[in-house]
Chain A
Amino acid sequence: MEMSLDLLGNAVVSGVLLGGFYAAVTIGVSISFGMLDIVNIAHPAFIILGSYIAYIANTTLGMDPILASVIALPAFYLLGAAVYQVYYVAFERRGEEALRGLAFFFGLLFITEVTLVLVFGVDYRLVDAPYIGPSLHIGPVDLPLRLLVPCLVGLIMIGGLQLFMSYTFLGRAILAVAQDQLALRLMAANPTRIKRIAFALSIATTSLAGAVLIVIQPVEPSIGRDYIGRVFAICVLGGMGSFAGTLVAAMALGIVESLTSTFYGPSWSPAVAFGFLLVTLAVRPAGIFGR
C-alpha cells in the first residue's frame, strides 16, 4: 500500500508540473480564442515551429533551447502580426470568419506541418540542456528538472502576461477589446490595431511554448495535433480569457493525464484530453470560473 501511495504522490506531482507546461502551451489560445474570438486552430503548429527553431539553435550553435526561444520572440511576434493582418483583411472585415476563417487556419496548420516534414523528415528530434536528465528528490517524491523548468517557464509567462494585462494601457485595451469594441473606438483607440498586437502576443508565446515542449519530449512535425484537443479543452474549461482559470484547468488536466498514464498506460492520454473537452462542452461550456 505504501508503494502505491508513493506512486500516487509522484503521479500527482508530475501532473502539477505537466499542468504548468500545459498552461504555457495554452496561454496563447486564451488570448486569441478566449479574448479575441479568433479560432486559431493552427496554434499548435506554431508551437512545433518554435520547437524546431530551439532545436536548430541548440544543435548548430549549442545554445540553450529556452534562451534561443527568447531571442526568437520578436520574430514570432512579427509572424503573428502578419497572420492577423491577412486574417483581418480576408475574413474578419468581410464577416466571413466562421467558415472560411476556420479553413484558413486549418490550411496554415497543414502547410506548417507538411513543410516541417519536407525539411526535417518525420524523425523525432531532441535537444540537449543541463536540466534534461537530473531530478530533485524531496522525500519519496521525484521532481525531474525537465518537467520542473517548463513548469516554471509557464508560471513566469502567465504571471508576466497577467501583470501586463492589469497594469499597462495596452494590456487594459486588450481586455477592453475583448468586451466591447465599439466602446474602445469611442475612447479613440483602434480596435484592429489592439487586436493585431494581442494576436501577435499570442503567437509570440508559441516560441517559448515550443522550446519547453522540446525540453519535455522529443518532437516530430505531427505531434502538434495531439495538443489541439488539450489546449482548447483547457482554454474552455478555464473560462476562455481568464489566465488564472487557464492555470487551474491546465493543472487539472495535467493531474488527470498523469494519473491515467501511471495507472493505465501512456498511450491512452490523448483520449483523456478529448474526454475532458467533450465533458466540458457538454456540462460546463462557460468553464470553471465562467459566469
Chain B
Amino acid sequence: MSGTKFVLALLIAAGVVFGAALLVGNSYVFFAGYVVLQYIALATAWNILGGYTGYVNFGTAAFFALGAYTTVVLHKLTTLPLPIMMPIGGIVSGIIGLGTGYLTLRLRGAFFSIATLALAVVVQTLITNWDFVGGSRGAYIVRPPTTPLLGIDYIQYLCLVMLALVVIVLATARAIERSRLGYGLATIRDDELAAEASGVPTLRLKLVATTMSGAFMGMAGAPLPYYVTYLDPTSGFNLAYAVNGVAMPLVGGTSSWFGPVIGAILLGTLQQVVTVTISSAVNLLIVGLVLVAFVIVAPNGILGLLRLQGRRS
C-alpha cells in the first residue's frame, strides 16, 4: 500500500470510529475513547525510538506532562486554539528530548534509559516548584464555551483532535519504517557498531528519532488539561504513562507500526474496564504483570505470536 493510500485508509477508519461513537450517543464512550486514543499516540511515539532503534525511554510521563503544562501556560497567556497549542507542546517536548539525547546518546543505551528515568523526577520537581502553573496545588482550566465545529460538544471535539493526532502519528511511523531513516534506525538496533563502521550517521539518526518521539508524546499530552480541567503534577506525571508507554509497544510487538496500536487498544481498554470495576491501583499492577510476562514468554509481542501461528498453519 502506498503512503497516500495508507493515509486515506487511516482517515476512513478514523471516520468510522468517530461515527460509530456518535451513534452510541453515550458521552462515556468519548471519555474512555479519548484515553485509548491518547495511549495509541503515546505507544506509537515511544516505538519510534524504542522499537525502531532499541533505545528504551522510561520518561514518557515527563514528555507527556511537558506538553500538558505547555498548554496550561499558553492557556493562561494567550487565546490560541488547541490545534495550535499541540504543535507548540510538541516543540517543547522535542527540544527536551533532543537535549537529553545529545547528552547521553553517545554512551551505551542503558545510560540513556537511566537519564530518562531521572528526567521524569526532575521535570516533576521543576513543575511542582513553579507557582505560575499552579505548583503542587495544581491548575484549573476552564474549557472554552464553544467548540470550533458546530454540533458537537467539547469532549467529542477533544476526541476528534486526538483522532487526528493518531492519524498523523501512525502515518509518520509507517513512513519512517519504509524510509532511509527507518533502515538506518534498524541498523542501529541490530548492530550499532557495524552501522557506525558502515558509515551510518548513528548519533544524528538517534537524535532525530528521540526528538520526533518526544515531540509526539508532548503533542499527545497537550489536550490533557482540557480533558481533566484540573491538572496537578501527580496526575500529569502519573506513573501510568511511563509504564504504559513501555508496556503497550512491547506487548503488541515493536517491529511494526501496528504492534503499539494492538497493545494500546488491548491494554487501554482492559485498564478502562478494570478502573471502573475494581480499582486504579490494581489496573497498574495488571499492566506491570502483563509487561513482565510478555517480555519473558513472548519477546516479540502479540505480533510475534501471530506470525508464529501463521508459520505453523
- A residues contacting B by CB (< 8 A) are 33, 39, 41, 86, 90-91, 94, 96, 98-100, 102-104, 106-108, 110-111, 113-115, 117-118, 222, 225-226, 228-229, 232-233, 236, 267-268, 270-271, 273-275, 277-278, 281-282, 285
Contacts and interface: CB of A to CB of B under 8 A. Distances in A.
Contacts of A233: 118
Contact of A106 (B103, B126, B128, B243): B243
Interface in B109-141: 109-111, 113-115, 117-122, 125-126, 128-129
Given A106-B246, A108-B292, A281 B104 contact: yes
Contacts of B110: 33, 39, 98, 102
Contacts of A98: 54, 56, 109-110
Contacts of A99: 50, 54, 56, 254
B284 A110 contact: yes
A195 to B, nearest CB: 17
Contacts of A232: 114, 118
Contact of A100 (B117, B243, B295): B295
Most buried by B among A114, A273, A285: A114
Contacts, number: 123
A281 B101 CA distance: 11
B64 interface: no
A271 B114 CA distance: 14
Nearest to B114: A232
B295 A39 contact: no
Contacts of B113: 39, 41, 102
A39 B243 CA distance: 17
B121 A277 contact: no
Nearest to A225: B121
A233 B41 CA distance: 32
Tell me whether chain A's interface is mostly helix, strand or loop, or mixed.
Answer: helix
24 contacts: A41-B58, A41-B117, A90-B296, A94-B299, A98-B109, A103-B56, A104-B292, A106-B291, A110-B284, A110-B291, A111-B285, A114-B288, A115-B285, A118-B281, A225-B121, A229-B117, A229-B118, A232-B114, A232-B118, A271-B126, A274-B122, A278-B104, A281-B115, A282-B104
Interface string B18-61: 00000000000000000000000000000000100010101000
Interface size class of B (residues with CB under 8 A): 35 or more
Contacts of A96: 299
A111 B289 contact: yes
Nearest to A39: B110
Nearest to A37: B110
B264 interface: no
Nearest to B250: A103
Given A102-B56, A278-B103, A285-B107, A107 B291 contact: yes
Given A111-B285, A114-B288, A277-B115, A228 B121 contact: yes
Interface string B279-313: 00110110111011001100100000000000000
B239 interface: yes
A275 to B, nearest CB: 8
Contact of B115 (A86, A107, A226, A278): A278
Given A107-B243, A281-B111, 9 more contacts: A99-B56, A100-B295, A103-B295, A106-B243, A107-B288, A107-B292, A114-B288, A271-B122, A274-B118
Contacts of A229: 114, 117-118, 121-122
B69 to A, nearest CB: 16
A103 B55 CA distance: 11
Contacts of A222: 239
A104 B121 contact: no
B310 to A, nearest CB: 22
A222 B109 CA distance: 25
Contacts of A41: 58, 113-114, 117
Contact of A110 (B114, B115, B239): B239
A91 B250 CA distance: 14
A108 B121 CA distance: 19
